[in-house]
Amino acid sequence: MTTIHEVAHAAGVSISTVSYALSGKRPVSEKTRRRIEDAARTLGYEPDAGARMLAGRRTHIFALTEPLRADTHAPTHMAFVLATAVAARRRGYDILLLTDEQTSEGMNRVAASRLVDAILVLDVAPDDDRAAIARSVGTPTVFIGIPNDAEGLTCVDLDFESAGALAIDRLADAGHRRVVLLGQTEVSYRKSNFPRRLLAGVTDRAARRDITLEWATTGDTTTDAALVRSTCDAALDRGDRAFVVHAVGDVHEILLEAIAGRGLRVGEDVSVVSAAASFDTTELSVAIDTIPLVPQQSCELAVDLAVGSVESGGSSPRIHLIPPEYRAVGSIAPARE
């Protein structure tokens, strides 16, 4: 690794002159400054983050605050972390991952230290402490998710309300008058905002379309396979033949097994739609219609907004909703009287 001593030697100046030229702490003649910058560029020298900050330059680091709790569904959350890191690296930024469960502490720390150019926020809670911090600090902040109070914030997310409404519309158009929603775990509805938003979209559209809706959570803090199986069996026993699934892949498979166990076929006897799935539904044992939640879409847009805010010196707060896409493979069956 090139040192400041080597740059000073190559430029024929003292170490302090190199420091002054690169930090801007004291004036240096234009000719000398250019000679130092040329030497630094040729040798591949980069001042540390502290020196760059003193010079008013960017650190080319984004903080990503993602609390890892005991109830966190790691595959889903890490898909978003990876998508954010890839998008940031493509734009020339590295990611500093903040995983402390007390999310406000890490966010306050990096904002105060000026170590990062922007902050990206994942796993947004309904009443998220990070919203108030984002409004108070000067560091550009983008939420990948939407808290209840989004005033003054820049947020990016799938339009979960529309995704839920779209699922109900497809089932209602096929003539179904009763729909079962297999939702997330109970803790998800308490600590995350996106399950509530999809539930609101499903509930509102079901009321408008005169659909009787049955909603069931799929465990307390993690998926309870026995509970899910019991819920599916009870729904099929009472004649329900239309399902919206907003849950992990295991829940989908339990429903599909319950349907097959009765000699029924998806797309012929029973309708199933996967809403806001962040995993690859093509790996399921039966092909089902999907309204996908694509981590790359929201994460890349969030990174672009953060970069734009850094480069422009700020931007107007706004909520950016990604329209849902319906991917049909024939899993909706016409309702039977």
Q: What is the pLDDT along the chain (337 residues), one digit of tens a residue?
A: 677 778 888 999 887 787 777 766 566 787 888 898 888 888 887 665 554 444 456 789 999 998 876 666 667 888 999 999 999 999 999 999 998 766 677 888 888 878 899 999 998 989 998 999 998 888 999 999 999 999 999 999 999 999 999 999 999 999 999 999 999 999 999 888 999 999 999 999 999 999 999 999 999 989 999 999 999 999 999 999 999 999 999 999 999 999 999 999 999 999 999 999 988 999 999 999 999 999 999 999 999 999 999 988 777 899 999 999 999 999 999 998 6
What confidence score (pLDDT) does residue 172 get?
98
In this chain, the answer to whether the domains covering 61-158+295-322 and 160-292 adopt an identical fold is yes
Class of domain 4-54: mainly alpha
What pTM value is reported for the model?
0.80
Q: How far apart are CA 98 and CA 119, in angstroms?
A: 10
Return the domain boundaries, the chain.
4-54, 61-158+295-322, 160-292
Count CB neighbours of 1 within 10 A: 6
What confidence score (pLDDT) does residue 58 get?
77
Residue showing tokens 């889903």: 76
Letter for the amino acid at 154? T
Please determine, looking at this structure, whether the domain spanning 61-158+295-322 carries the CATH number 3.40.50.12500.
no
Assign domain 160-292 to its CATH superfamily: Response regulator (3.40.50.2300)
Per DSSP, the three-state class of 153 is coil
Q: How far apart are CA 303 and CA 119, in angstroms?
A: 10
Structural element, H or E, at residue 244: strand 242-245
Orientation angle between helical segments 15-23 and 4-11, nearest 10 degrees: 100
Distances (CA, A) of 194 to 18, 38, 164, 319, 336: 51, 50, 11, 14, 33
